[in-house]
Amino acid sequence: MRLLYSLMLYLLLPGVLLRLWWKGQGVAAYRRHWKERLGRGLPSQQAAIWLHAVSVGEVRAAQPLINALRERYPHKTLLVTTSTPTGRQTVRQLFIDKVECCYLPYDLPGAVKRFLSTLDPALAIIMEVELWPNLYAELAARGTPLYLVNARLSQRSLQGYQRLGRLMRKTLRHVVHIAAQTETDKARFLELGVKPENLSVTGNLKFDVQLPADFDLQVAQIRPLLAGRQPVWLAASTHEGEEALLLRTHKALLQRYPQALLILAPRHPERAAELAQQCTAEDLSGRVLSAPVSDPGRETVWLVDRLGWLVYGYGVADAAFIGGSLVDRGGHNPVEPLLAGVPVISGPQIANFAELYAQLEAAGAAFIVNGGTGLSMRLTDWLDDRGKRDRAVDAGRWIVRKNQGSLARVLNIVDHH
């Protein structure tokens, strides 16, 4: 079965590389370091500990774990791999040169063997759920212990993996232990054939993420740039299909709050220029943050095209909408805005964070809306009643504190297996 799987990957490889080149037309970073995806041109220094986090969200969730591993093993080299340029850039921003970084190669037998032969990790940790049959088999053949941490498994992913049947069951047998986020995730892994003794529920590492040390300083530097524009609401990690509705909602809000500002942060920052054109089409003045300011103080929309800036934007926002939830993306992580003291609104597509949103809704810290009318009503409710907004902020911070502790549980598992 794995042989057939590998053959299919080799047949698909030309198309995959062509797609990588095509994406590089819009984002040049996709064309850089491409040899690493084939297990070549890797860092020369071997890594005692290897952690894989596919993209930005997983890298940020892994931040407390990476810091803890660096403190625990200060003399051991730590390698972090990603699958996207934005993930790689986030690693560099968060850790500078304190960890090695490269792309995880495609799950081709030759690429995987070159990767592991070059870096020879003594410990492998994979964030959330990335099930690669050849990689897992090669790690097992080398006797390298493998852990899945902060693991989650959506119903859709479960059904997809079940179609691969025996191949996935055999792949998962190579994992020493799976630290699942929730009881629901644990139950789904059991359905895939994972033994109960190899599973535990440790919670979500994202609750253990802290605001940057310079958070207050950076927020204080942003506030004067607002030039009296209030209120401010922020739409984070948005996707195509959501922004048009968000811009129309903002246009309606301007009738009630003429000085209102929308900070719009697309999930893929390179889309900011495209969104500036959408602003013009809606008769809104949009400013891409990295572009020169032609008419300062007149913009009604700020478009975020800088990785790492979003967390500071939360610090000046009165409310936040979390994207990927009005389209079928499963939603994105609401913990960071809650930490920054911002109440959260989301669309209904929140499969990735369903249990968390259930807690937040019950506590009054977040609200689920179905479209622009509901979004506008909730924003207006909070903006008109600061007391109600502040109670939502307090509830959100309480939920975050209640769910912290995953880091200690994950470290305990890795230390004792």
Buried b (16+ CB within 10 A) or exposed e, 306-328: eebbbbbbbbbbbbbbbbbbbbe
Instruction: Kindly list the distances between the CA atom of residue 101 and the CA atoms of 113, 209, 270, 308, in Å, as whole numbers in the listed order.
Output: 18, 20, 22, 18
Q: How far apart are CA 25 and CA 37, in angstroms?
A: 18
Q: How far apart are CA 174 and CA 311, in angstroms?
A: 37
Contact 246, 286 (CB under 8 A): no
Query: Residue 194, Cα to own-chain centre: how many angstroms?
Result: 26
What's the half-sphere exposure (Cβ side, CA atoms, 13 Å) at 121?
27
Say how many C-beta atoms besides its own lie within 10 A of residue 112's C-beta: 23
Active site annotation includes 128 = no
Q: How far apart are CA 412 and CA 296, in angstroms?
A: 52
Q: How far apart are CA 215 and CA 265, in angstroms?
A: 18
Q: Which helix (H) or strand (E) holds 244?
A: helix 243-256
- The active-site residue out of 58, 242, 243, 299 is 58
Q: Which amino acid, residue 124?
A: A
Q: How far apart are CA 254 and CA 216, in angstroms?
A: 28
Q: How far apart are CA 358 and CA 318, in angstroms?
A: 22
Instruction: Kindly list the distances between the CA atom of residue 156 and the CA atoms of 87, 161, 325, in Å, as whole numbers in the listed order.
Output: 24, 9, 16
Query: 258 CB contacts (<8 Å, ≥6 apart)?
Result: none
Contact 137, 174 (CB under 8 A): yes
End-to-end CA distance of the chain: 30
Q: How far apart are CA 173 and CA 395, in angstroms?
A: 41
> Dihedral (C-alpha) 105, 4, 161, 91: value to the nearest 10 degrees?
0
Encoded tokens for 128: 């959330």
Enumerate the active-site residues.
Answer: 58
